Amino acid sequence: MIRVVFNQKGGVGKSTVACNLAAIAATSGQRTLVVDLDAQANSTRYLLGPRGVEPELGIADFFEETLSYRLRTRDPVEYLTPTPFENLAVMAADARLSDLQTKLETKLKIYKLGELLAGLKKEFAQIWIDTPPALNFYTLSALIAADRCLVPFDCDDFSRQALYRLLENVDEIRADHNKRLKVEGIVVNQFNARSKLPTRVVEELIAEKLPVLPQYLSTSIKVKESHEAGKPLVFLEPGHKLTQEYRALYELLARKKR
């Protein structure tokens, strides 16, 4: 299963959601890969830690090599870096992704990521793709490669307007490029049940019959502590309320898959 975590709006928690759900998959015994497509490399730093191993190769190297018409092609596993956590690897990002984007668009390399990940499906039971906050070459590549799309949503009106555009874009990509792609659900993130606005916005989305997942993720300072430590919540504090919410969300997605 290949899942992409995508929202065109920044600050909604894409990297946090992708890495924490992937970490829970890994703790359940499934070999899991996170592909970081954002030049900011937040998922890469989160999973490798503030003083983690420097990746030898990553996703920018793969895209660079697609432009060079190399006669020798690497084994896809060469682009991976093991994390400190059992069953969990990352395909690391770096700032070169920004410089490569225009060249990749010009050369029509939009299907190359899907070809790469197809070669890793036997190695990994789950592949999670973290994307930049824009509908650009990298997010389009991810949506073409993926089976499912998860949409983090942070409960304000700006996010709501962006959500409608996002769902239209995903429908268009499904029709034109990837008929198996499905929106698996909208993940309500940074939710504060004591605040009226988030509750009202979510209730209105449900009334509009949008695919809001029934397990919400609470707002918590523990997320920032997790980022600083370079440890997803399941490794940092397994018993925390937010960790349990992530577990419940993961189990909900596993049931939907069946």
To the nearest 10 degrees (0 to 180), the angle between helices 137-145 and 157-176 is 60
162 within some domain: yes
Percent share of the chain, pLDDT over 70: 98
Span 181-206, pLDDT tens digits = 999 999 999 898 888 888 898 999 99
73 within some domain: no
21 within some domain: yes
244 within some domain: yes
User: What's the angle, vertex CA 8, arms to CA 21 and CA 121, rounded to 5?
Assistant: 40
124 within some domain: yes
Structural domain tally of the chain? Answer: 1
The model's confidence at residue 72, banded by pLDDT at 50, 70 and 90, is low
- Greater model confidence, 198 or 218: 218
Span 31-56, pLDDT tens digits = 999 999 999 999 999 999 987 778 99
Q: pTM of the prediction?
A: 0.95
Q: What value does the mean pLDDT take over residues 162-178?
A: 94
DSSP state letters, 91-150: E---THHHHHHHHHHHTT-TTHHHHHHHTTTTT-SEEEEE--SSSSHHHHHHHHH-SEEE
Residue 36 CB-half CA count within 13 A = 31
168 within some domain: yes
Please give the Cα distance from 79 to 2 (Å, whole number): 17
Domain that holds residue 154: 2-31+103-257
181 within some domain: yes
Please return the burial class of 209, using the count of CB atoms within 10 Å of its CB with bins 0-12, 13-18 and 19+: exposed
Contact in structure between 161 and 208 (CB atoms under 8 Å): no
187 within some domain: yes
What CATH number is given to the structural domain containing 6?
Answer: 3.40.50.300
